[in-house]
Amino acid sequence: MARDDTGTPSSLRGNGCEPRLAAMSDDDEHDADDVPEHHDARIRLVWELLVFHAKLAVEAVRDLILSPISIIAVIAGLVSGGDRPDVYFRRVQRFGRRSDLWINVFGTRHRGPSADQIVKPLEESLLAHTRRGGRLERGAEQVNQLLDAMNRKRRNPDDSR
């Protein structure tokens, strides 16, 4: 996922100008090109939050599993003796580092495979389902209408009188 200097994903950045709000009603005919950019950005933000928490959960499960394994590795290394009692523990650490890179909780760019390769097609599918004709179109449209109305009200508090 491309990011700018602040670490913000490019999919959430605007084009430098204030997004235009499109009038949305059940009568309006519009296609995917008519969807305001900030509507997609909202969906991507919620998706990114869900992915972030899923990655945190995967990492937590991994940590719960690695904790007892690391203890067993140290005990096995100490019992087996030899000139390298840390060999098993270092293997556990190496696995932990590799899995950190693969899980990629914070979206850091690196070479090699990562969970992001699994997530990207799912994100595109979700976006497709929120556009014209998609299964989630109506729900996404209603949420965006509500958020647009709230944003208008916050920008123009005098209009509500």
Looking at residue 131, what is its pLDDT? 76
19-62 per-position pLDDT tens digit: 333 333 333 444 445 667 887 888 889 889 999 999 999 999 99
Number of domains in the chain: 1
Domain range for 64 is: 38-139
Residue 74 lies in a domain: yes
pLDDT at 15 over 70: no
Residue 121 lies in a domain: yes
Contact between residue 108 and residue 9 where contact means Cβ atoms under 8 Å apart = no
Q: Mean pLDDT across the stretch 146-158?
A: 83
Residue 144 lies in a domain: no
Residue 4 lies in a domain: no
Looking at residue 29, what is its pLDDT? 42
> Rounded to the nearest 5 degrees, what angle is found at the Cα of 8, between the Cα atoms of 137 and 30?
25
Residue 89 lies in a domain: yes
114-144 per-position pLDDT tens digit: 999 988 898 888 888 887 777 778 888 888 8
66-99 per-position pLDDT tens digit: 999 999 999 999 999 789 999 999 999 999 999 9
pLDDT at 7 over 60: no
Query: Which SS3 state, helix, strand or coil, does residue 152 take?
Result: helix
> Rounded to the nearest 5 degrees, what angle is found at the Cα of 16, between the Cα atoms of 10 and 21?
95
Beta bridge mates, 9 = 3
Residue 145 lies in a domain: no
DSSP-derived letter for residue 13 is -
Strand boundaries in the chain, DSSP class E = none
Residue 28 lies in a domain: no
Residue 84 lies in a domain: yes
